Amino acid sequence: MAIATKSIKFLVLFTIVFTSFTAFAGGDTPSSDKDGQINTPKGIKEYIQHHLKDSHDFSLFSYSNDAGERKHIGFPLPVIVWTSNGLKTFMSSEFHHNDDGHVLVEKGDTKLTKIHGKIYELDAGASTVSFDGEHHATNAHKVLDFSITKSVFGILLAALLMFLGFGSLAKGYKKGAIPTGVGRILEPLVLYVRDDIAKPNIGEKKYRKFMPYLLTVFFFIWILNLLGLTPLGFNVTGQIAVTVCLAVITTIIYITNGSKDFWAHTLWMPGVPMLLRPILAVLELAGFLLIKPFSLLVRLFANITAGHSVVMGIAALMILLKAQFGTVGATGISFVLTLFLTVIELLVAFLQAYIFTMLSALFIGMAVEEHDHAHDH
């Protein structure tokens, strides 16, 4: 047990330090810096904005060779798109890490290009991309994109880690009352979700029904938040589409499991004047169908996005402060600040998973609650 504890502490410390050193590595080069290096405030801003977006490939880091050429190290991901000529598949490396619209990929009679991270299909007969004054393509249209992007890859990786982790926990319980290995780490967290989130908010009688979802959403968000602190550059929970889906799933669960008392109090609230009941019904429905899901998705999206932006901005100080403090001084200042913020982000990663799960349990508990009318009166 002592050896396992020391190994966990070492892995956590290594992750923090490694993340701090590489927080500003990776990603495609912003177009604002002509030499390919990020050394201006504008270039840094574009880089951070690019990092927060999804991508069709992984670019781990960049360097300049002896000839002054900028080289990108990473690996491609599968591109799967539905065009006017049917399904087309290829690797994202065929775009040559260039998203300015000048690199075309020809698949049969279909010509595809990538502009600002989006894949477009050129109109019939077009051989180059034409742009208007706002740099919008005028002779190309978007396609249905089913590609394995960086965020999709992160979701699949999180799902695999959860499958292996909970599989190990289940096997541990088969051997005895106390699990071993990874299961011994997961068990306290599972008990925490059960005893401190599910039971208090849903109740002793009905919490078991919703434990699979609460455990899934808690570990899913937590693992993705931790992956977002690695040099791989994941920002899955910082994608609005992901948080919207999670909020919609929570909404469907508490709406479909609402008790008769819940709907009676929502649609025709007792104890208030008859004229006010329709107004209150509209407000209650708006709260459960719009306001509560919106609060779920925005809180997670905004906090994770802000955290990534701040950490990368602090890491960029080594570039901006190089002239005043020298390379060693600027790197030291940036490293200390980034290390401090990374530790905070580790807490935020857990906190955001807890808040989303707790609010989901709270909303579910409000919906499934049975009222004792005699006691209330």
Q: What are the contacts of 224-227 at 24+ separation with CB within 8 A?
A: 224/154, 224/155, 224/158, 225/304, 225/348, 225/349, 225/350, 225/352, 225/353, 226/346, 226/349, 227/154, 227/157, 227/158
Residue 14 has pLDDT above 70, yes or no: no
Q: According to the model, what pLDDT value does residue 1 have?
A: 44
Whether 61 maps to a domain, the answer reads no
Please choose, from the candidates 310, 314, 297, the residue with its C-alpha nearest in 3D space to the C-alpha of residue 247.
297
Please state which of the ranges 42-51, 175-184, 362-371 shows the lowest mean pLDDT.
Answer: 42-51
Across the chain, mean pLDDT equals 79
How high is the pLDDT of residue 276?
A: 80
Give dist(CA 329, CA 324) in Å, integer. 9
Of 105, 125, 147, the one marking the end of a domain is 147
Q: Are residues 195 and 310 in the same domain?
A: yes
Domain that holds residue 319: 151-376
What's the average model confidence in pLDDT over 361-375? 76
Which of 18-22, 227-231, 308-312 is most confident?
Answer: 227-231
Identify the residue with better confidence: 250 or 62. Answer: 250
Residue 245: is its pLDDT beyond 90? yes
Are 173 and 132 in a shared domain?
A: no
Same domain, 316 and 207: yes
In the predicted structure, residue 21 carries a pLDDT above the cut 50: no
Q: 272 with 143, same domain?
A: no
Residue 334 pLDDT class (50, 70, 90 cuts): confident
Q: Is the pLDDT of residue 270 over 90?
A: no
Residue 200 CA to chain centroid, in angstroms?
A: 28
What is the per-residue pLDDT across 151-193, written as a single tens digit (0 to 9) for each? 999 999 999 999 998 888 888 877 777 777 777 888 899 999 9
pLDDT in tens, 47-99: 777 777 888 888 777 667 777 666 777 788 899 999 988 899 988 888 865 54
Q: How confident is the model at residue 37 (pLDDT cuts 50, 70, 90)?
A: low
pLDDT grade for 12, boundaries at 50, 70 and 90: very low
Q: Which of 101, 127, 147 is the last residue of a domain?
A: 147
Mapped to the 3 state alphabet, what secondary structure does 129-160 carry? CCECCCCCECCEEECEECCCCHHHHHHHHHHH
pLDDT at 260: 83
H or E element in which residue 102 lies: strand 100-107
State the pLDDT at residue 223. Answer: 94
pLDDT for 271 equals 74
Does residue 222 fall inside a structural domain? yes
Residues 192 and 104 grouped into a single domain: no
Asked, for residue 5, whether it belongs to a domain, the answer is no
120 in a domain, yes or no? yes
**Tokens describing residue 72:** 């990108």
- Do 249 and 366 reside in the same domain of the chain? yes
Domain final residue pick, 94, 116, 147? 147
| Domain identity same for 331 and 215 | yes
pLDDT given for residue 377 in this prediction = 45
**In this structure, are 93 and 242 located in the same domain?**
no
Whether 270 maps to a domain, the answer reads: yes
CB neighbour burial string for 340-370, b if at least 16 within 10 angstroms, e if fewer:
ebbeebbebbeebbbbbbbbbbbbbbbbbbe
Domain count, the chain: 2
**0.75 exceeded by the pTM?**
yes
Would you say residue 17 lies in a domain?
A: no
